[in-house]
Copies of this chain bind each other. A is one copy, B any other.
Amino acid sequence: MTVVEAEFGGTRDLPALIGQMGLAARDASRQLATASADAKNTALRAAAAAIRADATQILAANAQDIATAEAAGLAAPQIDRARLDPDRLDAVARGLEDIADLDDPVGSTIAEWTRPNGLNIQRVRTPLGVVGVIYESRPNVTCDAGGLCLKAGNAVILRGGREAINTNRALHVAMVTGLRAASLPEASIQLIPTTDREAVGLMLRSAGLIDVIVPRGGKSLIARVQEEARMPVFAHLEGRCTVYVHAAADLDMARRITVNAKMRRTSICGSAETLLVDRAMADRLMKPILQDLFDAGCAVKGDAETVALDPRVQGADDADWDTEWLGPTISARLVDGIDQAIAHIRAHGSEHTDSIITEDDAAAEQFLTQVNSAIVMHNASTQYADGGEFGMGAEIGIATGKMHARGPVGVEQLCSFKYMVRGSGQARP
């Protein structure tokens, strides 16, 4: 039993707990809104140092979680997502230091102009306030999300998954050590001490205390959050990404990019799940790409014409075009040119990331303009759909909604803004 659980005498009044955490976060967020860049960076670096200093304890807590998961018979990929080893743990610490190295967005001027009547108007970045992060499996989120929110001047309430509860607690201790080192409020980063499912429901209903929810996890978690949340949600939906090899594609480029987009890491959201190739160039383009995919260990589900090109291709059924494989499988078909490719993406994509491979600039521009995804690419791999690759330093996830943040959600996207209007006595006529 943790200190917090003991405080509640074993029988926890969960609504009271969540309410108190919310109020503490709201208070902390006011101080954080005006905290200096130095203070926040000190906290981040001190947390990183604490992670390294306490590596043995953190890894021991993780070993405890892994043993519990294995005894409970969880699937291997799920257990692996919860696992930390010395390398992964060091990456977590380095992630905090990377966030400290970022420019501080709070107070930065987004736009500025002066009106004919002399009023000077600035749009400046402010924190959002209090962020709620609800996540499964990956304990690194405790620090990645905690660190990003802090950098943007937000207080954060973390609710991690059951599989990593002890790991998350140990990592949270390191984050609080960092906050203390910088004399920042400890309630800046809080971890809900229970994995009671009802805690999630209470968070989602606390619109007066939490400003936005960031869910990181599987489909049923995201669906529940979107259904129940009374506040905005940074939806991180499926990454049904497509690579479209246009008739005017350079063959070598198309082969390299397609294999990289699918196989570099198959379980990330930027992994390509669908391959479209112009029918006019089926033999020249599709056949060699199929060969490369099979050589790389990928399975291919294809339309009848693609099956006819290579006997190793399995026949695709309708559902396969709407499937996020998250593994070494890709759906592939031929299309009659760019309009049909765009129509396919509109019908089956998830508005995440889609790429056209072509030497025809006009076709590229049509694709970039007409495909309404968070990220549209020309002659680049969909695996670049990542905050770090975008130069944001780090991200809390990739948002596929259209409000506030779209694509990688980095420090800037964890901010809101306000207008500062400086006058010299103007009264409106």
Contacts and interface: CB of A to CB of B under 8 A. Distances in A.
A264 interface: yes
A328 to B, nearest CB: 17
Given A211-B402, A403-B232, A403-B403, A380 B417 contact: no
Contacts of A421: 375-378, 380, 384
A223 to B, nearest CB: 12
A423 interface: yes
Question: How many of these chains are in the complex?
Answer: 2
Contacts of A401: 232
20 contacts: A33-B370, A113-B391, A115-B389, A121-B391, A128-B403, A129-B402, A250-B425, A253-B425, A374-B418, A375-B418, A376-B418, A376-B421, A377-B423, A378-B420, A379-B424, A380-B421, A380-B426, A381-B428, A384-B428, A406-B419
Contacts of A383: 427-428
Given A384-B428, A428-B384, A418 B403 contact: no
Contact of A384 (B261, B372, B416, B426): B426
A312 to B, nearest CB: 23
A428 B264 contact: yes
B426 A368 contact: no
A284 interface: no
Most buried by B among A113, A253, A376, A402: A402
Interface in A393-423: 401-404, 406-407, 416-423
Given A370-B34, A421-B375, A422-B378, A402 B416 contact: yes
A128 to B, nearest CB: 6
A8 to B, nearest CB: 30
A126 B416 CA distance: 19
B260 A427 contact: yes
Contacts of A419: 374-376, 390, 406-407
Contacts of A380: 119, 421-423, 425-426
Contacts of A364: 422
A212 interface: yes
Nearest to A232: B403
Nearest to A116: B391
10 smallest beta-carbon distances between A and B, as pairs: A380-B423, A260-B427, A402-B416, A404-B404, A383-B428, A253-B425, A377-B421, A379-B423, A403-B404, A375-B419
Interface string A282-295: 00000000000000
A401 B230 CA distance: 13
B423 A369 contact: no
A217 interface: no
Contacts of A264: 427-428
A256 interface: yes
Nearest to A227: B230
Nearest to A113: B391
B381 A406 contact: no
A34 B384 CA distance: 26
A253 B427 CA distance: 9
Contacts of A34: 369-370
Nearest to A368: B420
A335 to B, nearest CB: 18
A5 B391 CA distance: 54
A373 interface: yes
A122 to B, nearest CB: 9
Contacts of A422: 364, 368, 377-380
A107 interface: yes
Nearest to A379: B423
